[in-house]
Chains A and B, each alone.
Chain A
Amino acid sequence: MKDWQASTPKSYSEVQEVILGALSPPGRSYWGAVILCLFGLLYGASCWAYQILTGMGVAGINHPVNWGIYLVNFVFWVGIAHSGTLISAILYLLRARWRTSIARAAEAMTVFAVMIAGLFPFIHLGRVWIFYWIIPYPNQRDLWPNFQSPLVFDFLAISTYLTVSSMFWYMGMLPDLAALRDQSTGLKRRIYGIFSLGWQGTHIQWRHYGTAYLLFAAFATPLVISVHSVVSWDFALSIVPGWHSTIFAPYFVAGAIHSGLAMVLTLLIPMRGLLGLQPLINVGTLESIAKTMVLTGLIVGYSYGVEYFMAWYSGNMFEWDTFIWRAFGHYAPQFWVMVVCNVAGPLLFLIKAIRTNLIWLFAVGIIVNIGMWYERFVIIVGSMSHEYVPHAWGVYSPSWVELSIMLGSFSMFLFLFLLFCKFVPPVSVFEMKEHLWTHGKA
């Protein structure tokens, strides 16, 4: 972490100025981008409305492919949602210093991604107007949801995850919001004042806050693992060849972290440039992310291999047939895109020159994102279209409605993230200060 110190501001005030400086009133282009994203969001929303009024038929799904890219996107976004908490919670417990400068942004990414992921199961629902029947609310007939259903697991896990990750994020911001409050005036001051809950930084507050934050991290860590395991069980608990496999939980978790880190790269590299955060989020940090991605990439590649091995080793013709078809059947292109992007892509990071080059880092981030999206597509669609009964085989391709809603989801994500960049300290101020302090002592 040498260069980390080198490029770091030397005093508290400098730190604060660098970070809160990022919140300086944005320019026209920023608002242009925000409005563009807003339109994308609204367009997606109106497509959903059209689907609700007309029926699920407007999507490309059919028999046998009952689940389309709605669930592909669901899994994709849940995946994105993972590395946020991973970075801030797990690395916090592991005391990995490079975490500090990116944790805030990563968490924001998590929160927004979970919000979007949580939307997709509803978009995918045939009768969304009675979605609340999944919620165990007291009712006359004592009809409760079926707690055996993986979808109920899902509901519990995702909603828990949304609550925890957003609160974790918010609590982490408390002292910074107070700082913002204290240096701003007028209406802004009032608003930040409300959100900072009147934080003063007394030793008592720090005492409880410190312990609590540690516990939050301790909770968030197993939660991250569980959530994506649960998501993977949506598939693993079924009997569909290509889904029904015990490797799914670790496989999905690794995949999630993989895609999450990729998304962090994709977001941070532009962000640090635009907000002038280079001194805090430096190449070293990005490099550490890249290194982690080599690991996750290898895990994912290993999982692909193991899937094939098990399919062959089990001697189950249905299983084996499915996997052969995956690699050489109708969805072969998607399959190979997936393999190349997710496994070969990150391996480029073995080369120092590449993993310290912003352009490359960004590019590979994008590539892995694409690859991970296709991974979910191949798993979901590729398995369902080629199941037990040959007479019922069929293929699927997304309709314009599905694609529009997908576009809407990406717009929504960018929309929220843009707002985040300009209205909340994008980097944790007090933690950066703490580093100075601990360094000063050291």
Chain B
Amino acid sequence: MASLGRRHFLKLLGLVGSASLTGCSSESPRRLIPYLNPPKDVVPGKASWYATTCMECQAGCGLWARNRDGRVVKLEGNPAHPVNRGALCARGQAGLQGLYDPDRFRGPGEKDGSGVFRALSWEEAFSKAAMELKGLLSRGEGERALFMTGLLTGSLRDLCIKWVEKLALGGLVMYEPLSYEPLAQAAQKVFGTWAVPHYSMEKADLIISFGADFLSTWISPVEYARRFSEFRTPEEGKRGFFVFFGPRLSQTAANADMWLQVRPGAQRYAALALLKASWKDKEGEKALWPGSAHLEAFLEKWEEETLLSKAGLKREEFHFVRKLFQRSRRPIVLSSGLETVDPHAHETAWISHVLCSLKKESLELIDVGRGWSIASAAKRSELLSLRDKIESKEISLLLVHGANPVFSFPEFEVLEEAVRKGHLKLIGLSSTEDETTSLSSLILPASNFLEDWADVEPRPGIRGIVQPVMGTVFDTRGLGDVLLELTRRLLPGDPLGHYSFDGFLKERWKSFHEELGIPGGFDSWWAEILRRGGQWVEPSSSKRCEVESLSPPMEWASDEGGQEFELLAYPTVQFLDGRGANRPWLQELPDPMTQITWGSWLEIHPQDAERLGISNEQVVVLKGFGGEAEIPAYVTPLTIPGVLSMPLGQGHTSFGRFAKGCGVNGWKLCSRGANHVSIQPRALKVKFANTDGSLYQHGRGLAQGMDLGEYQEAKSKGQLPKLRLPLPEAYDPKEDFYPPHKHNLYRWAMVVDLDRCIGCGACVIACNAENNVAIVGRELVLQGREMQWIRIERYLEDHPLKVRFLPMLCQHCDAAPCESVCPVYAPHHSAEGLNNQVYNRCIGTRFCSQNCPYKVRRFNWFTFTRPKPLHLQLNPDVTVRQKGVMEKCSFCVQRIVEAKNRIRGERRTLRDGEVIPACAQTCPTEALVFGNLMDPESRVARLSRDPRAYQVLGHLNTKPAVIYLRRLETRREDMAP
């Protein structure tokens, strides 16, 4: 994306200058309004919402898609959906940019040997594809063809399986780079079910995680983040304690009450040490479990000392945790289940399951009966055998949809070779070009999930419906329809029945309707389903979690020695396994911990860096089993000595313009299970496009913490915080030079709960989408010109090393310094306390930004544009700013206006919660609360009376309307028995 620098912008200016116009005109992508006879669900200038389901990852969050004038402009969480309850992560929201990805296939086509793309009509494409398959089928060599997809669930999966069967193809391979196979395997071993368990964390009283980043990427981050915050701040009862074992201070570790530093390969020893210790504590009950004798024997072989030394744990710290575990009644023990994070993930997973099994009540919080559908992804062994088949030319045709093994599965480089040598043909069904699809000779692009029918079943009992929320952007067809069409062309009759996939889908739902015995006709129910976004019931026959055997696994891998460094490659909030890399929003979303955008880096501990004479931003050559790469070093205490950490998901070679030339592909470097690497510094530096000016807050007390004990005491005493509220009541003749001023019915304000904020950055993307915030590209970020209206400031604190997240947005001060310095009133105070910024009045003196102590104002250095069709995403309710104009957070004033219009004529004022800004709406942990401060009963008013409340830089007496709640800190003494 280096190409989207200044010059590129200038080039695009002419091209897309008009685009921004289209963005805000009320014009549908295809039809001009007014229609001759308008479709009833498209009202010009009025948004209509469609319920659907997110397919950006396997978590299957429910969506509400906001459609304006025939095009989707925003994705929000479906409040009714059991997985995400209205929240949505950064990746999910950026799904829009997948839909409008300028590098998507415009339509079907074929590639000749030289890789030149030639557009085809669907007719031609189908016949060519059919010919390929016919060739094999006629020779009865169906099994030489293989269908590879990403994880599929629900009807689509049924269809694909049926299709493969009917055509008697080699099989259906659902490839997922992050398959969490070790978890499923361990569950098989311990609980007797091949499943990735689901955890009801909120009910636990202790969470111990061995490298599982369940707040950022792990399985279902939005849901787990919500459950975690409930676990952390329960309505009633005790605050849960969270211990994180791991080699890296990840975003999740940053939210832990305690971080124990363990090298990747040693996580299993830490877990084992805990198991051995707890096992000792469990005299008497041991007999209860099958296979405990074996376990006993197994544990005998280990000395706690050796385990601790292998794990590199401090004795007292370990015993503190052990005591916690011993005392806790409902602990949950998690493990990453990712071999790139823990080379011995299998062992660790097994131990963590066993640890859970030691506590009766814990078992009630673990659901293997309704585990995650990800467990059905292809096993590693299957993939390897497939690799061999390809090598041995047993496979001659591969249909690929939504799977990109060439990028994320180093062993699959054979694919390229096979294609080059010509004994393998690829037919690409993916909607976007990626490393794998780019090998295909024929391309039948499937529609994006927002243009197509489907249903998603992330866990048994939860069926999310996926419906087209707008017409297709390009000349694409739904995957289901493509398959059906192919069958029609290949087989006599119509073996799969339906003409189109939605028919097939409906058929399936009819059967649910029957088996669930829902009263009333199907159609009304179906309409209800489409409105609600799916159907979720707890199946009566849910297999509770029972321990089948504690007997240890047969093989216990020996430690590999050799290289001095262990490599840790972790999935990221932005790109997960890499699928998000062509979304400019995500590329420019600063990494929660390093605050770096547009690229990847290698985290190295200052000690190691000093020893090897490596300075920050210096390029190093990283030699791993998977190969060798040059990557700039990020010297940071976030990773522990002897461990190098790097993010996954960057370093795409053909994944679109934004992903191009961004960083290094971590998948290629860490072959699973063997993560030892070496590095050599090079005399070369690469600048990081990071957005943070400093790692620390230099004792300025911006992001504050509070001791749990003190807090509870203050609360019981009913202490009120000292605030300078933006209300006339707060006028203090000793402090205030000017008289107070009144507000008219409302005084909008926001409360930010630092104890709930996990720093995931979902709010940033929500703001980008809602307010048409420009993406500036790497070069401009380097010059300090990023445009985001809300940012999550990350501050480190030393001894003990910990992290504080501080969401920073316009504080809408009552005495806003930015206002009076403007010569033309572009910023001024509204009657409702908003700090209005009138874009078309702004002449660009930039004094306001200069005078803003929070530095939240953003200046348009250029007229920022978006390559088509990304401009279709622009929110018509918000102006697209031009060069030379200052902009900033408006508390989503357009939503306030819209809400007021809604209640017009009802002779009432807005109720609490009737207006929610984009950032607060999407927050998985409800860290952001918005409302009217003048209403003493509103949530913001009540929270502002909490003893934790404070204002950032309150002493400046600008009377900010954003009130922060201090992060709670549990002192270890309080926890100690």
Contacts and interface: CB of A to CB of B under 8 A. Distances in A.
**Which of A151, A152, A389, A393 lies at the interface centre, i.e. has the most chain B CB atoms within 10 A of its CB?**
A389
B326 interface: no
Interface in A78-119: none
A145 B693 contact: no
Contact of A66 (B841, B850, B862): B850
B6 to A, nearest CB: 6
B785 interface: yes
A229 B836 CA distance: 30
A153 to B, nearest CB: 9
A151 B821 contact: yes
Contact of B785 (A62, A155, A391, A393): A62
Contacts of B855: 63-64, 387-389, 392
A440 interface: no
Interface string B680-696: 00000000000111101
Contact of A62 (B10, B694, B784, B860): B784
A168 B313 CA distance: 82
B883 A56 contact: yes
Nearest to B857: A63
Nearest to A321: B698
B317 to A, nearest CB: 30
Interface in A108-148: 121, 124-128, 130-131, 133-134, 143, 145-146, 148
A132 B783 CA distance: 30
A63 B853 contact: no
A65 B853 CA distance: 13
B825 A143 contact: yes
Contact of B843 (A134, A389, A394): A134
A318 interface: yes
Given A57-B785, A64-B784, A134-B823, A393 B694 contact: yes
Contacts of B824: 133-134, 143, 145-146
A384 B700 contact: no
B956 interface: yes
Interface string B868-890: 00000000000000011110000
Contacts of A240: 850-851
Contact of B692 (A54, A61, A391): A391
A430 B621 CA distance: 80
Contacts of B785: 57, 62-63
B858 interface: yes
A273 interface: no
Contacts of B786: 63
Contacts of A63: 784-786, 849, 855, 857-859
A55 interface: yes
Nearest to B692: A391
Given A126-B846, A391-B808, A317 B699 contact: yes
Interface residues on A, range: 35 or more
B849 A66 contact: yes
A131 B854 CA distance: 27
A146 B824 CA distance: 6
Contacts of B44: none
A152 B808 contact: no
Contacts of B823: 133-134, 145-146, 149, 151-152, 155
Contacts of B808: 389, 391
Scoring B795, B820, B843 by chain A CB atoms within 10 A of each residue's CB, the highest score goes to: B843
A391 B847 contact: no
A372 B699 CA distance: 34
A214 B860 CA distance: 50
A114 B886 CA distance: 28
Contacts of A61: 846
A415 B694 CA distance: 46
Question: Chain A CB within 10 Å — which of B823, B847, B860 has the most?
Answer: B823
Interface residues of B, number: 56
B862 A384 contact: no
B863 A130 contact: no
B695 to A, nearest CB: 8
Contacts of B859: 56, 63, 66, 126
B14 to A, nearest CB: 12
A58 B846 CA distance: 15
Interface string B682-724: 0000000001111011111010000000000000000000000
A335 to B, nearest CB: 20
A127 B886 CA distance: 10
A388 B851 CA distance: 11
B885 A127 contact: yes
A191 B862 CA distance: 47
A57 B6 contact: yes
Nearest to B13: A54
B822 interface: yes
Contacts of B783: 60, 62
A57 B774 CA distance: 14
B85 to A, nearest CB: 30
A127 B843 CA distance: 5
Nearest to A56: B861
B842 interface: yes
A4 interface: no
A388 B693 contact: no
B970 interface: no
Nearest to A134: B823
A56 B884 contact: yes
Nearest to A235: B850
B844 A67 contact: no
Contact of B846 (A66, A131, A143): A66
Most chain-B CB neighbours within 10 Å: which of A128, A145, A391? A391
Contacts of A218: none
Contacts of A234: 847
A148 B829 CA distance: 14
Contacts of B696: 390
Contacts of B784: 62-65, 394
B694 A238 contact: no
A9 B855 CA distance: 63
A152 B791 CA distance: 32
Contacts of B730: none
B16 interface: no
Contacts of B820: 146, 148-149
B817 interface: yes
A388 B860 CA distance: 23
A35 to B, nearest CB: 33
B476 to A, nearest CB: 36
Contacts of B861: 55-57, 62
A239 B854 CA distance: 11
B693 A391 contact: yes
Interface string B765-808: 00000000000000010011110000101110000000000101
Nearest to B855: A392
A125 B826 CA distance: 14
A301 interface: no
B700 A318 contact: yes
A150 interface: yes
B744 to A, nearest CB: 21
B793 A391 contact: yes
29 contacts: A56-B884, A57-B862, A60-B783, A61-B846, A62-B784, A63-B785, A63-B858, A64-B784, A125-B845, A126-B842, A126-B844, A126-B845, A126-B860, A126-B885, A131-B843, A133-B823, A133-B841, A133-B843, A134-B824, A143-B825, A146-B822, A150-B821, A155-B823, A238-B847, A388-B854, A389-B702, A389-B793, A391-B795, A392-B854
Given A62-B783, A63-B785, A317-B700, 14 more contacts: A55-B884, A57-B785, A58-B6, A62-B861, A64-B784, A127-B885, A130-B843, A150-B847, A234-B847, A239-B817, A239-B853, A389-B700, A391-B691, A391-B793
Interface of A: 54-58, 60-67, 121, 124-128, 130-131, 133-134, 143, 145-146, 148-152, 155, 234, 237-240, 317-318, 321, 384, 387-394
The 8 closest A-B pairs by CB, nearest first: A126-B844, A393-B693, A126-B884, A57-B861, A392-B855, A62-B784, A390-B694, A127-B884
